[in-house]
Amino acid sequence: MKKKPSIFTYLFLICGCVLIIFPMYLAVITAFKPTEELTKSIFAFPSSFYLGNFMEVIEKSGFLNSVINTVFVTVVSCVGVILVVPLVSYAIARNMDKKRYYKYLYYFLLIGIFVPFQVKMMPLVQVMSNFNMLNVPGIAVVYIASAVCEGVFLYVAFIHGVPGELEESAYMDGAGTLFTYWKIIFPLLKPMTATVLIMDGLWFWNDFFLPLLALNKTPDNYTLTLFIYNFKSQTTVNYSLIFAGLLLAMLPIMVLYVFLQKQIMGGLVNGAVKG
């Protein structure tokens, strides 16, 4: 017989929900209030859904350009990750028990997971500067390289659960290694691919520190997080505009997460079971 959760468990969960929902509630209601109404009461629900704040943010110079830059960085980085990481992981997973080099490469990549960004940020920016990569395409390349370590860790565990007999049958029919990977193995990696895409997509879209270090000099290179950061410094008093900008920046990725959350959980569960 299962033991029922205690009242302390319910209280802990309720407190956790309040800590998560209450800031979101404040952000949403503040974004829909004109400045005059906000000064009267911060916590009260808005009398009407005022859209003027959103329109003012959208009409600000540089907003649409920052959206285009963010979409470009996110899409290009995600495509690069899906082209590179599963292929590298497949080579490691199928050869690490036969050749030491692949095992050492796997452990070397695992070490990268434990290196904090604060440790490598200055050398990274220096390298980007030397290669003239302090721009939007350059930061996309850096994101792809930065996603390799964690992506390989997840994919290798998942690929170990894929039977090797599938490839042997393909080889017997005359298929090459690359053809076998793209036509047989890669389609089987869809759950993990969805998980990696969404996890990395959230990171690429919402990242602030790397764009701040690499792109903050030129407004034409601003991503959404940089636009909100600089926009906030210009409108320190107008919290309605600030929160409207934050909601606009969060909205696309939140909608994507709502529609694809099943794939995230499915990929994590399958990866844990097969790994």
CA distance 106 to 89: 9
pLDDT at res. 138: 94
Is residue 146 in some structural domain? yes
Asked whether 60 and 228 are in contact (CB, 8 A), the reply is: no
Is residue 133 in some structural domain? yes
H runs (alpha helix) in the chain: 7-31, 35-40, 52-59, 63-95, 100-113, 117-130, 136-146, 148-159, 165-172, 177-180, 186-188, 190-206, 209-215, 224-234, 239-274
pLDDT at res. 269: 55
CA distance 61 to 63: 6
CATH code of the domain containing 88? 1.10.3720.10
For 104-126, what is each residue's pLDDT tens digit? Answer: 999 999 998 998 888 888 899 99
One-letter amino acid of 24:
M
For 2-31, what is each residue's pLDDT tens digit? Answer: 567 778 888 888 898 888 888 888 888 888
Domain range spanning residue 149?
Answer: 68-224+262-274
Asked whether 204 and 77 are in contact (CB, 8 A), the reply is: yes
Is residue 61 in some structural domain? no
pLDDT at res. 76: 96
Q: How many CB atoms lie within 10 A of CB 64?
A: 12
Asked whether 227 and 62 are in contact (CB, 8 A), the reply is: yes
Is residue 50 in some structural domain? no
Is residue 174 in some structural domain? yes
Is residue 232 in some structural domain? no
User: Which stretches of the chain score pLDDT less than 50?
Assistant: 235, 271-275
Is residue 188 in some structural domain? yes
CA distance 211 to 221: 9
CA distance 261 to 267: 10
In 3D space, the residue among 233, 234, 232, 214 whose CA is nearest the CA of residue 223 turns out to be: 214
Is residue 47 in some structural domain? no
pLDDT at res. 71: 93
Work out how many domains the chain is built from and give that number: 1
Token representation of residue 152:
């390989």
Global pTM exceeds 0.85: no
